[in-house]
């Protein structure tokens, strides 16, 4: 099922022509209306007229999040206030907030992109979508909401929080599509089960659109099994648009990029050279239609691949693989690069361990020290020393085998690691504090 079949199944050559046309306009919009781009392009000796093919985008300089912070709040807007329909911003918890503006056309395109994901899980105008992403400056809630309205769905704007009420709304309103973070979807599922329901058989829910945080394959399967749904992974970031930049179809072979709206590259984060399709590297995105906040070669820091192979679903847009991690949340443990998602994948292979964990980073002399806190399942006899030590040894061996590093393991009682009603906080970095 498609939302925009004329676009989603467009022949590749026609799609590339459309991308080139729109890329030229996007470069011109950025160059003529945003001082930073004019300065950067001039310094690099390029102008929008130098773009003769899609591959020529490699001649243009990159943009990074710090550029947005340095130009806070409106320095990278290409439109005056009268044309700005909405503003979103990052939390600013790791530095100055980044602000992004949207025109009415930008918002309409965003809704259409997310609606494609709704179609991918079998949704249409008869569907009811419950949006349990947070609303506000975070793009998740309003992005999913716009997608539901673009599709013509009945939209329930529950936002995040009040989880028991979320469960009741799922059941009573016969919600068939849930949109939220993966960790919150799991909390909703577990809460429903604790309330005495079997959501996989008693609820009408059939599809879930989840994003905004990493999720291992085993955790995906746990969510899908407990809710009885097709799982759709949604990719997006506020600097580029929000959720809907890429969405996962039922074939589960990656996430289809909305290539009529975005041009994606994979680069080597060290050399900054463009890599061929299929190789692992950092995702770089150029917006093709954004009016207010055009982004030219934005370095996302997300590590993935691009798959150009035809998809059995019939969509012709290339796919990105599920994210392997980020170049800026990578942990360096005794000289080995490790992503938190790799640790999660190992944890979820142990049925005795719940899918809740935290990674505590401290310093042991000049080296990073990692303590992994995990919960046992409620029926595991945590007070039986031999069984606990056996579990610890098996988990430590699996982590060592998969990650090539040693990790200290601390078991905690069930339900003691704080649950999140938004993004789960998996890594606690205390390396800058006195130990």
Pairing type for strands 243-248 and 230-236 reads antiparallel
CATH of the domain at 418: 3.30.300.30
Domain count, the chain: 2
Kindly state whether residue 434 falls inside one of the protein's structural domains: no
Q: What is the pLDDT of residues 178-234, one digit of tens each?
A: 999 998 999 999 999 999 999 999 999 999 999 988 788 888 999 999 999 999 999
User: Phi and psi (nearest 5°) for 229?
Assistant: -130, 165
Residue ending a domain, among 291, 308, 327, is 327
Mark the ranges of the chain whose per-residue pLDDT is less than 70.
91-95, 329-337, 365-368, 431-435
**Is 9 in the same domain as 35?**
yes
| 352 within some domain | yes
**Contact between residue 132 and residue 235 where contact means Cβ atoms under 8 Å apart:** no
Residue 158 lies in a domain: yes
- Picking from 216, 250, 214, 248, the residue whose alpha carbon sits closest to that of residue 233 is 248
Domain membership of residue 435 (yes or no) is no
Give the position of tokens 């200290």. Answer: 408
338 lies in a domain?
yes
Q: Are residues 69 and 135 in the same domain?
A: yes
Residues 317 and 347 in one domain: no
Q: Which CATH number does the domain housing residue 277 bear?
A: 3.40.50.12780
Whether 255 is in a domain gets the answer yes
- What per-residue confidence (pLDDT) applies to 94? 43
First vs last Cα of the chain: how many Å apart? 55
- On whether both 199 and 340 belong to a single domain, the answer is no
Full residue range of the structural domain in which residue 256 is found: 1-327
- What is the C-alpha to C-alpha distance for residues 56 and 40, in angstroms, rounded to an integer? 16
The Cα–Cα gap between 264 and 19 comes to 11
Tokens of 133: 């992403």
The answer on 135 and 267 residing in a single domain is yes
- Contact between residue 358 and residue 427 where contact means Cβ atoms under 8 Å apart: yes
Residues 394 and 316 in one domain: no
Residue 212 has a pLDDT of 86
106 contacts: CB under 8 Å, gap ≥ 6: 85, 241, 289, 290, 291, 292, 293
In whole angstroms, how far apart are CA 134 and each of 219, 304, 420, 433?
A: 21, 26, 11, 31
Q: Domain check: are 307 and 364 in the same one?
A: no
Tell me which of 327, 359, 376 is where a domain ends: 327
Residue 313 domain-assigned? Answer: yes
Query: With a threshold of 0.85, does the pTM exceed it?
Result: no
One domain, residues 139 and 259 = yes
99 and 43 fall within a common domain: yes
pLDDT at 93: 41
Q: Residue 242 CA to chain centroid, in angstroms?
A: 9
Answer yes or no: do 344 and 320 share one domain.
Answer: no
My answer on whether 320 and 391 are in the same domain is no
């Amino acid at each position: 099922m498609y939302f925009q079949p004329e676009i989603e199944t467009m022949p590749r050559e026609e799609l590339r022509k459309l991308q080139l046309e729109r890329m030229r306009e996007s470069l011109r919009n950025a160059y003529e209306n945003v001082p930073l781009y004019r300065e950067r392009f001039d310094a690099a000796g390029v102008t929008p007229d130098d773009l003769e093919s899609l591959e020529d985008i490699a001649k243009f300089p990159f943009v990074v999040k710090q550029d947005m912070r340095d130009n806070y709040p409106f320095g990278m807007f290409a439109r005056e206030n009268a044309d700005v329909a909405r503003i979103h911003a990052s939390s600013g918890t790791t530095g100055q907030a980044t602000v992004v503006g949207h025109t009415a056309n930008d918002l309409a395109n965003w809704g259409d992109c997310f609606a494609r994901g709704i179609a991918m899980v079998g949704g249409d105008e008869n569907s009811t979508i419950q949006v349990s992403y947070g609303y506000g400056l975070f793009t998740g809630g309003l992005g999913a909401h716009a997608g539901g309205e673009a599709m013509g769905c009945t939209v329930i704007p529950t936002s995040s929080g009040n989880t028991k009420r979320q469960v009741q709304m799922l059941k009573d309103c016969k919600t068939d599509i849930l949109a939220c973070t993966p960790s919150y979807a799991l909390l909703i599922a577990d809460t429903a089960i604790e309330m005495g329901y079997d959501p996989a058989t008693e609820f009408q829910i059939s599809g879930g659109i989840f994003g905004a945080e990493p999720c291992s394959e085993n955790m995906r399967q746990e969510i899908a099994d407990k809710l009885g749904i097709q799982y759709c992974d949604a990719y997006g970031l506020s600097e580029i648009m929000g959720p809907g930049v890429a969405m996962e179809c039922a074939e589960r072979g990656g996430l289809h990029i909305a290539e009529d709206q975005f041009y994606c590259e994979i680069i080597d984060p060290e050399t900054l050279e463009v890599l061929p399709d299929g190789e692992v590297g950092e995702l770089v995105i150029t917006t093709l239609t954004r009016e207010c906040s055009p982004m030219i070669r934005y370095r996302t820091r997300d590590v993935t691949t691009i798959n150009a192979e035809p998809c059995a679903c019939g969509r012709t847009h290339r796919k990105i693989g599920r994210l392997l991690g980020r170049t800026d949340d990578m942990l360096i443990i005794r000289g080995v690069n490790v992503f938190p998602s790799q640790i999660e994948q190992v944890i979820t292979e142990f049925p005795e361990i719940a899918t809740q964990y935290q990674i505590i980073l401290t310093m042991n002399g000049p080296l990073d020290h990692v303590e992994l806190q995990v919960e046992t399942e409620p029926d595991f006899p945590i007070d039986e020393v031999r069984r606990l030590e056996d579990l610890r040894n098996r988990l430590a061996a699996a982590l060592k085998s998969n990650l090539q590093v040693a990790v200290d393991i601390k078991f905690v009682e069930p339900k003691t690691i704080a649950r999140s009603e938004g993004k789960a906080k998996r890594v606690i970095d205390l390396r800058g504090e006195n130990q």
